[in-house]
Structure 1
Amino acid sequence: MRRGALALIPVLLAGAGLAACADSPQPRTLSVVASWSTDGEGDTEQERRRSSEAGPFLAVLDAFTKESKIRVNYQGTRDVSQVLRSGIDRGRPPDVAVLPRLNDLKTYVQSGDLYPLDDVLVPAEQPGLARQLLQLTPPRGTHARVYGLSVAVHAKSLVWYRADAPGGPTVRRPPATWAELVALTRDIEARGGVPWCLGMGAQPQSGWPGTDWIEDILLHRSGQTVYQRWAAGHQAWSSREVREAWQEWGALVGVGPGSRTPLLTNFDVAGRGMFGKAPSCFLDHQGSFIVRSYQGSDPDRPPPAVDFFPSPAFGPTPGVPVREISEDVVGMFEDSPEARKLIHFLAGEQARQAWREASGDLAFTLNAEAGPAYPDGLPRRIAQTLTTGTLCRDASDMMPAAMTAAFHSAVLQYLDDPSLLGTLLTELDIVRSQTGQDEWLGLPCLSPPS
């Protein structure tokens, strides 16, 4: 009997182990929504996934799953706001969303749909993290709390050009002032070239490349105080400063009936005209993310012979550098241990490294500690633009949705018919006056890291 009883012990222990495994809860599968498309090229699903716009972020999610054993379902959509609102209204929001529009953060804080992250993201635990955190005061709150983590930042005050343009003008000495940029534009025209690569298409938000132009000109022409007032709804669209920013853009790029092509061209296609045997354009005003479009669908393909110079100052001598940026910000819409682990992971160096490697060192954050990790050349220079000047967030990203939509529409109409400017600015002021002040997000510009 004793021998038989002892023989049963391994079986009983194995059964107990199986029961324990059966009883242990499995991590929930997380749902994540962001704006990056998963449409890529290649013969296999892995190749298409890797070459897609979302490829670098998917590599980060894969690294998270490998470490945590928590699976993630990713949904890429151009209209994150609509998908997110639909999920919230149905009571089934994603666990985590990456918001390309900063004002959405405020909208969801006010509605109570976004969870604070104060106990998930602690700056004292991670060097350089503080600049990545977005704090807002909740309704009926007495102090600001952390609701967003900036996981990607894009330098926008940049003008790109092909360094080896055949048979055409080359930017031998980047313009240091606006007057020099105008002179370069006219020189290209005199040589028979088309100076600017213009593409306004970006469904469902066509027109935003033009808003970037106007924001950038206003920032450099009138300074960050006027820019911040305007971004927060305190500066009239019909004011002299804002009106002249539109006019400066129109005079530089040549708006009017001949501008039909930019209205029909996507923003990520326009700049490729620089790389033909006979370039169809020579300068592209775009954010740092555009380099991936220049590369095509192969993330391992080295960037073409492209370079950039910062948007120049309007004064006779350059002052302290000031640049416009945009951000992709993570928010938590379902509070769970798994969601918290993902957001904590996204704030760390392991996520930044995975993102850099998968993007060919063309992924950047506001974390100043990450700067030295970039190799010499284009990646290091882009990273330096984010640490050596004052950074002002994209104004239209901080405006209420109705104001931003009206801004996009006005850009398209002005590009087609500049004589409408006065009417368009009046209409924009009407939208501004009908928008509650509590709907605006007036985030301050960021000083260079100390």
Structure 2
Amino acid sequence: MKRSQSLMQLFGLLTALALVLAACGSPNPVVTEAPSEPSSATEAPTTDEGTEMDMCYGAQPGDEVTLLYQWSGAEEESFNAAIAPIVEACGLTIVPESSRDQALLETRIESGDAWDLVFWPTVGPIGSYGDKLIALDTLGADAANYAPAWMASGNGNWLGVAVKADPKSIVWYSPVNFDANGYSVPTTWADFVALADQMVADGNVPFAMGFESGDATGWTASDFIQDILLSTQGSAYVNGILDGSVAYNDAGVADAYGVYAGWATDPAYAVGGAEGSLSTSFSDAILQPFSDPPQAMMVKQSGFAGGAIAAQYPELEFGTDFSFFHFPGADGVQGGADWMMAFADTPAVRAIVAYLTSAEGGAHWAATGFGLSPNSGSAGNYADPINAALAEVLAGASAATPDIGDSIQPSFGSAEWRAIVDVVSGASSIDAALAGAADAQAADQGN
């Protein structure tokens, strides 16, 4: 029996069990060998021996899989729900570790003590440790369920796949406020600029811009600038920045910095002007267009902002009181993602990789509500209306470009964030700030 057929047989029975376990269980799933005569409440799905062996790739009950990821709390519980069907079917024991420590990642890999599977918010490990990674297609991963933008290669091999994605080319707004002021959703870059100018003329502040994010302060600004580049220069240009063929101090980048800094430093265009932009946390800025009265008309922020708005203002209805539009004129979509990479080839690893990249795995991921899956099998399976709408943005994108800051080496990423902070704070001119970032870009490219 083919693996995909096996998964289809098991998926429906396992989904309900997985969701119950996710709601009631520990955030760290540890599944021991199933009893030989399970009770009716915990009875494993009925399968024939061939189906079970095919789905589990020969993994035995109790086989361990070590994982590293950055999720915690509710996100960790949702991830456990996403993998529960294969964990339960095969009786796997998951040994997870949650950490955002880059140094820990590097130390463990370099010492030869890497986790079996790593879920990381950048593809950086592929560039640094590609020789230690296992090609995903040799582990049973199904490439047919992914667009090329969500598959990362190194040394000519498929080494990473995005299991969770978040579109960043998103502008959140209040349809109620737009209607009250006679504003229409812009569809082109020129329309967007004109709308901001009209808002200022009407006495409204267009943008909430919160930079503050600890050591990562500046990432919201670099995301905004990347979307400006997608609108004014195109996705090929942004990809050129990623591969080094376009220097970060190119005229196109300088122009985007000029537009953005002009908005962020002017209190007529951004809440609090330069001081407000720099000192406001990104999480607080998300809420400013939806306060009463609104402090701003719009906030450019990733898809995750919808959940933050809904949590803070539960009385607001998505689509009526708050909504989003695709960044006007953007060539495709900028996206952040969590990437799965394998450092071990075992039957248990193969079972998890094959399941998560299958259409059935994508459908179940969507059903758990754990963000968005680039897996095409997720389409039509989102219960949350915000995620369903965001999934349409991913599916309809003409191109996908990774977030520059998430996809480059840390030294360039830090220089990119520092450049826009220095420009908005007045500590540096655009030319000087971009020259420093371009030097870091060249160094990371080995030039």
Is the structural similarity TM-score above 0.5? Answer: yes
Q: In structure 2, what is the equivalent of residue 357 of structure 1?
A: 367
1:34 matches 2:69:
yes
CA–CA distance in structure 1, aligned partners of residues 151 and 92 of structure 2: 26
Aligned length: 384
Q: In structure 2, what is the equivalent of residue 309 of structure 1?
A: 325
Is the 1:131–1:367 contact (alpha carbons within 8 Å) kept by the matching residues of 2?
A: no
Q: What is the correspondence of 1:317-356 to structure 2 with a 5 Å cutoff?
A: 321-356=331-366
Is the 1:177–1:313 contact (alpha carbons within 8 Å) kept by the matching residues of 2?
A: yes
Choose the corresponding residue for 2:431, options 422, 426, 445.
422
Q: In structure 2, what is the equivalent of residue 278 of structure 1?
A: 293
CA–CA distance in structure 1, aligned partners of residues 312 and 289 of structure 2: 17
Choose the corresponding residue for 2:100, options 66, 70, 78.
78
Choose the corresponding residue for 1:136, options 130, 140, 153.
153
Distance 1:169-1:150 versus aligned 2 partners, 3 A rule: same
**Residues 317-343 of structure 1, C-alpha deviation per residue, up to 9 Å, x if partnerless?**
xxxx52222221100123322222222
Choose the corresponding residue for 2:114, options 93, 96, 105.
93
Distance 1:374-1:170 versus aligned 2 partners, 3 A rule: farther
Distance 1:160-1:184 versus aligned 2 partners, 3 A rule: same
Q: In structure 2, what is the equivalent of residue 57 of structure 1?
A: 79
CA–CA distance in structure 2, aligned partners of residues 196 and 86 of structure 1: 41
Is the 1:200–1:264 contact (alpha carbons within 8 Å) kept by the matching residues of 2?
A: yes
Q: Which SS does the other structure have where 1:119 is aligned?
A: helix
Q: What is the correspondence of 1:392-431 to structure 2 with a 5 Å cutoff?
A: 392-417=401-426, 420-431=429-440
CA–CA distance in structure 2, aligned partners of residues 238 and 395 of structure 1: 14
CA–CA distance in structure 1, aligned partners of residues 360 and 378 of structure 2: 11
Q: Which amino acid aligns with 1:248?
A: V
Distance 1:134-1:246 versus aligned 2 partners, 3 A rule: same
CA–CA distance in structure 1, aligned partners of residues 333 and 245 of structure 2: 21
Is the 2:211–2:282 contact (alpha carbons within 8 Å) kept by the matching residues of 1?
A: yes
Distance 1:262-1:290 versus aligned 2 partners, 3 A rule: same
Distance 1:298-1:419 versus aligned 2 partners, 3 A rule: closer
Distance 1:73-1:192 versus aligned 2 partners, 3 A rule: farther
Q: In structure 2, what is the equivalent of residue 179 of structure 1?
A: 190
Residue identity over aligned pairs, in percent, reads: 21
Deviation at 1:395, TM superposition (A): 2.4
Consecutive unaligned residues of structure 1, counting only runs of 5 or more, are 1-16, 18-23, 39-51, 139-143, 315-320, 439-450
Q: Which SS does the other structure have where 2:132 is aligned?
A: coil
CA–CA distance in structure 2, aligned partners of residues 64 and 58 of structure 1: 11
CA–CA distance in structure 2, aligned partners of residues 391 and 273 of structure 1: 28
CA RMSD of aligned residues (A): 3.2
1:293 matches 2:308:
yes
Consecutive unaligned residues of structure 2, counting only runs of 5 or more, are 1-35, 37-58
Q: In structure 1, what is the equivalent of residue 381 of structure 2?
A: 373
Q: In structure 2, what is the equivalent of residue 149 of structure 1?
A: 161
Distance 1:290-1:68 versus aligned 2 partners, 3 A rule: farther
CA–CA distance in structure 1, aligned partners of residues 181 and 227 of structure 2: 23
Choose the corresponding residue for 2:129, options 101, 108, 117.
108
Is the 2:60–2:91 contact (alpha carbons within 8 Å) kept by the matching residues of 1?
A: no
CA–CA distance in structure 1, aligned partners of residues 146 and 169 of structure 2: 24
Is the 2:264–2:277 contact (alpha carbons within 8 Å) kept by the matching residues of 1?
A: no
Is the 1:154–1:325 contact (alpha carbons within 8 Å) kept by the matching residues of 2?
A: yes
CA–CA distance in structure 2, aligned partners of residues 170 and 70 of structure 1: 57
Q: Which SS does the other structure have where 2:138 is aligned?
A: coil
Q: Which amino acid aligns with 1:208?
A: W
Distance 1:132-1:277 versus aligned 2 partners, 3 A rule: same
Q: Which amino acid aligns with 1:308?
A: F
CA–CA distance in structure 1, aligned partners of residues 167 and 192 of structure 2: 19
Is the 2:306–2:386 contact (alpha carbons within 8 Å) kept by the matching residues of 1?
A: no
CA–CA distance in structure 2, aligned partners of residues 69 and 204 of structure 1: 40
Q: In structure 1, what is the equivalent of residue 256 of structure 2?
A: 245
Deviation at 1:407, TM superposition (A): 0.7
CA–CA distance in structure 2, aligned partners of residues 151 and 25 of structure 1: 25
Distance 1:180-1:326 versus aligned 2 partners, 3 A rule: same
CA–CA distance in structure 1, aligned partners of residues 117 and 181 of structure 2: 45
Is the 2:367–2:381 contact (alpha carbons within 8 Å) kept by the matching residues of 1?
A: no
Deviation at 1:246, TM superposition (A): 0.7
Deviation at 1:175, TM superposition (A): 0.9
Q: Which amino acid aligns with 1:269?
A: D
Q: Which segment drifts farther, 263-272 or 208-217? A: 263-272
Deviation at 1:283, TM superposition (A): 0.8
CA–CA distance in structure 1, aligned partners of residues 60 and 380 of structure 2: 41
Deviation at 1:212, TM superposition (A): 0.8
Distance 1:153-1:87 versus aligned 2 partners, 3 A rule: same
CA–CA distance in structure 1, aligned partners of residues 278 and 307 of structure 2: 22
Q: Which SS does the other structure have where 1:150 is aligned?
A: strand
Is the 1:346–1:352 contact (alpha carbons within 8 Å) kept by the matching residues of 2?
A: yes
Q: Which amino acid aligns with 2:366?
A: R
1:385 matches 2:379:
no
Q: Which amino acid aligns with 1:66?
A: E
CA–CA distance in structure 2, aligned partners of residues 190 and 206 of structure 1: 30
Distance 1:345-1:240 versus aligned 2 partners, 3 A rule: same
Distance 1:298-1:251 versus aligned 2 partners, 3 A rule: closer
Q: Which SS does the other structure have where 1:308 is aligned?
A: strand
Q: Which segment drifts farther, 150-159 or 63-72? A: 63-72
